[in-house]
Structure 1
Amino acid sequence: MKRHLVRRGGMLAVVVASIALAGAAPASAAPGDGSAYGVNVNVTLLGQPAVHVGPLAAANTNGPTENTAVSANVTGVLTTGVITTSAVRDDNSGAVTSKASVADVGLPLLKPAVGNVGAKAVEAVCTATQEGVKGSTTLVGANLGSLGQVDANPAPNTELQVQVGPLHVATLILNEQIKNGDGSLTVNALHLKLLGGQALGSLGSGDVILSSATCGPAAPPMPLASGAGMWIGFGVLAAIAVPVGLRFTRRRSAA
């Protein structure tokens, strides 16, 4: 009877340790992930072949965590200077920070409709912590032609209509923030959506995205299966299993 109780105690120790270790594993692969890229172009201009460029300078928390590109030049659509991106996870806190920045942006595609459009820098930032996920956009030296002035930090999902006469041909979205189904957030600093159509003045169809950062949700702050958490798990196991083992040894000796 006594040995039976000891064996039950040993099984309890294994179960407790298994529960502790299982609790450390994230529910899915999504928590703790992050990514970023500088430029992605998928457009079909009126009367021309489709153009696909990017994602350029892609970074990911699983590597490469940083990336750069010297420039991007899509004739008649886009010009840029240096592109820099990063996506970093802090294994201690579980926090994720993704960033993308594009310098010396020009959008010649919009010149016939609204004049010169560009910026000295366009940056998107996404951060995921235990408190939640948030994002922001910064525009440095932005010039939007006849679309008017815009704040350096535009409000999420600021939309500007591009008109050619009475025709709405495109939408320019600043600080686009998309809440994804897995709990992550995507921030596109600048998203130009061409609305298509064959009417006179149409620019074409497709999308131009500059400075995109995705992150979240945050990972568990200290996974039990590794690092300091692993030693805590072993400590729990030892605290239960060692006294049980000593009792078993002593009773066997007494027998």
Structure 2
Amino acid sequence: MSKKRTAALGAGILSALVAGGVAFAPAAAATPEDSAYALAADGLVNITKVPHVVGEGKDHLVHTELPPGAKSILRAGVFNSAVEEGYAKASTTDAELGLPGLPAISVGLVTAECDDLTGATSVADLKIGGQHIALDQIAPNTEIIPEQLKGLARITLNKQTDNGDGSLTVSALSVDLLNGTQTVDLSTATCTDKPEAPENPENPEKPEEPTAPEKPEEPTTPPSEDDGDDDGDKGGDLPGSKPDQDGKAPTPVPQPGHLDVTG
């Protein structure tokens, strides 16, 4: 089939799909995530990201050889990765990288940290072929090519990449062998921007405190002991105040200070 006929056939199929209401949705853009890993390699030797933490959490590996066995290209004492929202950190201690045809590259401690889209790294005790490499403050994307590696490989320290999706990736130490034939990244952290903290009012109004209910006023004059009777008996029955058993009037009883009453 000729190229013209193939192109015409392809155009015809595309027109038919559009006319039939088939829509081609654009690929959804991936949401950036905070992540960290201590080691990754790509090329002749592939090593997946380890220990790889995405979103939130921590992980580590101790006394590791990767790949395992006689063909390992990296030995390390400890790998660490830690991630939380807007922050990521990865570190590698006592690492030795031995790529085929290159002098050994060793480092005491290499750390990458990404915090709210700001990257920072530290590299301590870097040696290439047993020769110590003096490092001071490491600017972003600092490239070094020691004499032992000329024409073979280059090392990038504090490698920072704006991913274009609202995230930043920082690799503390990146080795590129023969223009990408083999790459190795030590201590890599990716972070997004942190969410803004809620604003606090300068003088928040305090809620009104409840007031205690008022107590009723107590009477100032004590209640009278008099029950309202006017007979002066103070609640008791005086002699002669009630009829006898036959219902007859009681016999008057003389009282002191009163005249005798006769019947």
CA distance in 1, matches of 2:143, 2:131: 11
Aligned: 1:38 with 2:38: yes
| Correspondence for 2:189 among 213, 227, 233 | 213
The gaps in structure 2 that reach 5 residues or longer are 1-29, 201-263
Question: What is the deviation of 1:58?
Answer: 0.7
SS of corresponding position for 1:187? strand
| Correspondence for 1:189 among 169, 172, 179 | 172
Contact 1:138 1:152 in 2 (8 A): no
CA distance in 1, matches of 2:191, 2:162: 10
Match of 2:81 in 1: 85
CA distance in 2, matches of 1:146, 1:206: 22
- Partner amino acid for 1:69? L
CA distance in 2, matches of 1:148, 1:105: 14
Question: What is the deviation of 1:219?
Answer: 2.5
CA distance in 2, matches of 1:206, 1:116: 15
Match of 1:98 in 2: 88
Q: TM-score, normalised by structure 2?
A: 0.56
Identity percentage of aligned residues: 29
Paired residue total? 167
CA distance in 1, matches of 2:88, 2:184: 20
Contact 1:137 1:153 in 2 (8 A): no
C-alpha distance after superposition, 1:148-185 (max 9, x if no partner): 623254221111226668x6121111110111101211
Higher relative contact order (CA 8 A, sep 6+): 1
Match of 2:157 in 1: 174
Contact 2:126 2:132 in 1 (8 A): no
Instruction: Specify the structure having the higher radius of gyration (Cα).
Output: 2
Question: What is the deviation of 1:76?
Answer: 5.1
The structure in which a higher percent of residues are helix is 1
| Correspondence for 2:114 among 112, 126, 131 | 126
Match of 2:27 in 1: none
Question: What is the deviation of 1:80?
Answer: 1.2
Q: TM-score, normalised by structure 1?
A: 0.58
Question: What is the deviation of 1:147?
Answer: 7.4
Q: Which runs of 4+ in 1 moved over 2 A?
A: 72-77, 144-150, 161-165, 217-223
